[in-house]
Structure 1
Amino acid sequence: MCLREIALMRSWDRTGRIDFVDLTDPAQACPRDRYLMLTRLHARENGILLDGAAAFAAMWRAIPRLRWLGLAARRRPVLWGLECLYRVFLRFRPTLQMLMR
């Protein structure tokens, strides 16, 4: 699932502003506990490490066609709602991954 989404984001990121890092590679440096980093999406924006919905919003701000959504997520109620949805998604992600195989 993650690989499909990364492929989509790469295709939309025509200017190459997003650098995806594979933390499953043990040779890759990891700024925090690797297991915890792999349980949620993380992104660095302006030197700040973000996770969850905030990380998605940072990624969206880097992609012109999704920038409006990333900017909307700067509002607390919007980001809070997105984080709630992300947490629900995380509960169902294992089942979804099994179905997609």
Structure 2
Amino acid sequence: MSEPNATTQPAAQCSVYYDGACPLCRAEIGLYRKAEGAEALDFVDVSQPDVKLPEGLSHDAALGRFHLHSADGRLVSGGAAFAALWSQLPRWRYLGRIARWPVLRSLLELAYRVFLKLRPLIVRIFVALQRRRAK
């Protein structure tokens, strides 16, 4: 086993871009933040006014879809971003592998697009359930 030397660089992180103004999104990201391996990820709340986004990702696009900027420089969104995120977390890795199968990748993207259309309603239901739970 070789010893690291002064020129060894730490592994690059993936950046996960999510809408922190969305209660449902915050809850889901909270789940991922608690997962083993999450310390190697940079979770970026794109609802913050001073957020720095990678080249090729506009603020509107970042708010409109889930994105991940991988360590190798690829920017992916939607279902592909979830598959990439899951692949970074040891206990979710199996789901990331499955989500990359061509048929499932297409189904995941389709499901994500349907979710985006229903997102306002789903968020209202989620918030109502959270309020009920807090009582």
Structure-1-length-normalised TM-score: 0.91
Q: Secondary structure at the match of 2:27?
A: helix
What are the ranges of 5 or more consecutive residues in structure 1 without an aligned counterpart? none
What are the ranges of 5 or more consecutive residues in structure 2 without an aligned counterpart? 1-23, 128-135
Q: Secondary structure at the match of 2:76?
A: strand
* 1:22 counterpart = 2:45: yes
How many equivalent pairs are there?
A: 101
Supply the distance in 2 between the matched residues of 1:53 and 1:80 (Cα, whole angstroms).
8
Q: Which has the higher helix share?
A: 1
Supply the distance in 2 between the matched residues of 1:29 and 1:93 (Cα, whole angstroms).
25
Amino acid across the alignment from 1:36:
A
* 1:33 counterpart = 2:58: yes
Which deviates more from structure 2 when the two are superposed, residues 51-60 or residues 4-13? 4-13
Larger radius of gyration between Structure 1 and Structure 2: 2
Structure-2-length-normalised TM-score: 0.70
- The residue aligned with 2:81 is 55
Q: Higher relative CO (CA 8 A, sep ≥ 6), structure 1 or 2?
A: 2
- The residue aligned with 1:95 is 121
- Computed over aligned residues only, the root mean square deviation of the Cα atoms, in angstroms, reads 1.3
